[in-house]
Amino acid sequence: MKTILEAINKPQDLKKLSHEQIKLLAEEIRHFLICSVSKTGGHLAPNLGVVELTLAIHKVFNSPIDKIVWDVGHQSYVHKVLTGRRDGFATLRQFGGISGFPKISESVHDFFGTGHSSTSISAALGMALARDIADDKEHILAVIGDGSLTGGQAYEALNHAGHTGTNMIVILNDNEMSIAKNVGAMSEYLSKIRTEPKYTKIKQDIEFLLRRIPAIGESVAKTVERVKDSLRYLLVPGVLFEELGFNYIGPIDGHNFELLSEVLEKAKKMQGPILIHVLTCKGKGYKPAECNPDKFHGVGPYCIESGEVIKNGNTPTYTAIFGETLLHLAKQDKRIVAITAAMPEGTGLKKFAAEFPKRFFDVGIAEQNAVTMAAGMATKGMRPVVALYSTFAQRAYDQILHDICLQKLPVLFALDRAGIVGEDGPTHHGLFDYSYLRHIPNLTIMAPKDENELRHMVFTALNTNGPVAIRYPRGSGLGVPIDQSLQQLTIGVADEVKNGTNVAFLAVGSMVETCIEAREILASEGILASVINARFIKPLDEQMIRKVCKNFVIIITVEENVLAGGFGSSVLEYIHDQNIGGVNVLRLGFPDQFIEQGARKQILAKYGLHAAGIASTAKSYVQKIKV
């Protein structure tokens, strides 16, 4: 027999279903997601939490005429299922498959692409204002989580939206979780609204009175309004949003489809900006995810029965190596403090947080605050370490430049997930950091070739009197034996790891090992390559470059970064500026385009940045130059 889900190919198919059928459909969707994501991996818990909410939105509104903006977009799977992409889930987040985030090119129902957090209210506001100018009539919705509401941009947008008074609906999906437990004063405020029954009771009483106003006359109505006004500071939940110019509705049970539909129908008819506060349970309907919403926030393939994640290998990740090294150093140096922007687990800081709770700060999804706060701490003699994903550090470019580097403050940026991150795709690849950091004066930039070098770099950075960024990739290291001692590296000095005569690879970070492998392939074809581990993107080892230019006519720079403005560019700039002639430089890295999702290995291979690809390109180049 056909399931209800199998008959849903577009949002309009929902309209004819009864509430009873929608409840069954919600169960089927949960079952579908649990099975599907167990094979592909993905953001399971956030999606299990928004099943009823997404159903209600699509039942009440009319996508794609009405526009829905999903903040971060990691919770858009139910939306994708309901908008004709159910069959695509076998390829979710894989190379060539459907994205784990809303994507304009994927569907007309994905009206706005997301991936980085806290953008939805701004985008929805822009759409609403454009609609007003065009005198169009559609509804505009932003769905934002409580975690994403810790991001500064969300407040900038609330502030502006309330001021414009335009018609738009913000749905705040409050599950008390960011990836980890949500943090901050706003989170506490929401929690107060959620748990203070007196708020809800008195609000209901006032609303009851107000509803009866037409029967009791104008003057009483005014009195009740005044009472409402004077009491609301104390009694009405969401007064903060009301003061910002929003009509606040809530808190309401986000798993009650009837109630959600009723509230959305009402909101549809109201004027001005509206904020609907919805309470949900992250991971709803799958015990392992309900009990461990952080583990199932974004998860690899897992066993459905046990909830055990299927492991691939035991080699420690760069993240773990960084976390342990920092913890080790923090035991000896009380000035070391660690800062994360809502990613304590993802950046390897959980043990640090447990051991040094007073020296650990989770600022929420607030990369800008993280960086300038670190600047403030550094002025007071601390040694702040700001651990961010490379892609999210983009948010804090000006703070890095203006607050840290201009003042030469000794802050360490630990930039995790640099290079290709894999299945999260173009919104998350950390392919730009060499380019957006390299031109900032006073900043030292390093990239380790392996786990040991990462350890030495963390040690070196914390003994350097100025700002330093270290960038390293997502996932396992090379599995090298870990050195017990930590070494102070000389700033700006590269390391020749393999010698050769025909061609020199100037490689950086993850590409050093790949070039060593490429060298083996080339050797079997009679081409002898030298491999230089640049270690420093800034300052460049100029002496080494001069030496290489003297000894080789062919230099190939290799980096896991976009070519535009990257490491190779800096080598070329130096060679050009010094008027060094007689060398041919080929730059390998990523082209000037956004790079798709897919397993890291797969993507590196597609762009010729695996050993075979580098060897093949090098061979052709050597042959061309010789001709």
Ligand X SMILES: CC(=O)[C@@H](O)[C@H](O)COP(=O)(O)O
Ligand Y SMILES: Cc1ncc(C[n+]2csc(CCOP(=O)(O)OP(=O)(O)O)c2C)c(N)n1
> Toward ligand Y, which CB reaches closer, 281 or 618?
281
148 is in an annotated binding site: yes
Our finding on whether 131 is near ligand X (CB under 6 A) is no
Nearer to ligand X, 93 or 456 (CB): 93
Q: Does the annotation list 286 as a binding residue?
A: yes
The end-to-end CA distance of the chain, in Å, is 69
Contact (CB, 8 A) for 540 and 570: yes
SS3 62: coil
Rounded to 5°, angle at Cα 75 from 604 and 199? 150
Q: Of ligand Y, ligand X, Mg ion, none, which one sits near residue 424, judging by CB under 5 to 8 A according to partner kind?
A: ligand X
Q: Find out whether 115 is annotated in a ligand binding site.
A: yes
The verdict on 147 binding Mg ion (CB under 5 A) reads yes
> Cβ of residue 41: shortest distance to ligand X, in angstroms?
9
Is residue 479 part of an annotated ligand binding site?
Answer: no
Residue 367 interacts with ligand X (CB under 6 A)? no
433 marked ligand binding residue: no
Applying CB under 6 A, what is the total number of residues that bind ligand Y? 24
Residue 346 binds ligand X (CB under 6 A):
yes
Beta pairing partners, 470: 414, 446
Residue pair 236/243 in contact (Cβ under 8 Å)? The answer is no
Tell whether residue 417 is a contact of ligand X (CB under 6 A). yes
Residues 6+ apart with CB under 8 A from 18: none
Q: 3-state SS string over 60-106?
A: HCCCCCCEEEECCCCCCHHHHHHHHHHHHHHHCCCCCCCCCCCCCCC
Query: C-alpha 527: how far from its chain's center?
Result: 42
Site for ligand X in 48-77 (CB under 6 A): 72, 74
With CB under 6 A as the contact rule, the residue among 367, 403, 424, 451 that binds ligand X is 424
Starting at the edge strand found earlier in the chain, the sheet holding 67-70 runs 67-70, 140-145, 168-174, 273-279, 247-253
Residue 442 is given by DSSP the state T
Q: By CB under 6 A, is residue 148 in contact with ligand Y?
A: yes
**580: which 2 tokens?**
């060094």
The least CB distance from residue 34 to ligand Y, in Å, is: 17
Helix (H, G, I), strand (E, B) or coil at 510: coil
Q: How far apart are CA 242 and CA 250, in angstroms?
A: 12
Q: How far is the CB of 282 from Mg ion (least distance, A)?
A: 6
Task: Tell which positions 117-146 bind Mg ion, by CB under 5 A.
Answer: 145-146
Which CB atom, from 102 or from 500, has the smaller least distance to ligand Y? 102
Alpha-carbon distance values, 532 to 505, 506, 548 (Å): 6, 5, 9
In the complex, what is the shortest distance from the CB of residue 346 to ligand Y, in angstroms, rounded to a whole number? 8
Q: Which of 421, 507, 511, 575 binds ligand X (CB under 6 A)?
A: 421
Residue 568 CB, shortest distance to ligand Y, in Å, is: 28
Burial of 309 (0-12, 13-18, 19+ CB in 10 A): middle
Q: Which does 421 bind (CB under 5 to 8 A by kind): ligand Y, Mg ion, ligand X, none?
A: ligand X
**Among all residues, which ones are annotated catalytic?**
282, 367, 395
Backbone angles phi, psi at 285, to 5 degrees: 95, -5
Segment contacting ligand X by CB under 6 A, of 48-56, 184-192, 205-213, 417-425: 417-425
Residues in the site for ligand Y, rule: CB under 6 A? Answer: 46, 49, 72, 74-75, 116-117, 145-148, 173, 175, 177-179, 282, 297, 341-343, 365, 392, 395
Residues in the site for ligand X, rule: CB under 6 A? Answer: 72, 74, 179, 297-298, 346, 417, 421, 424, 474
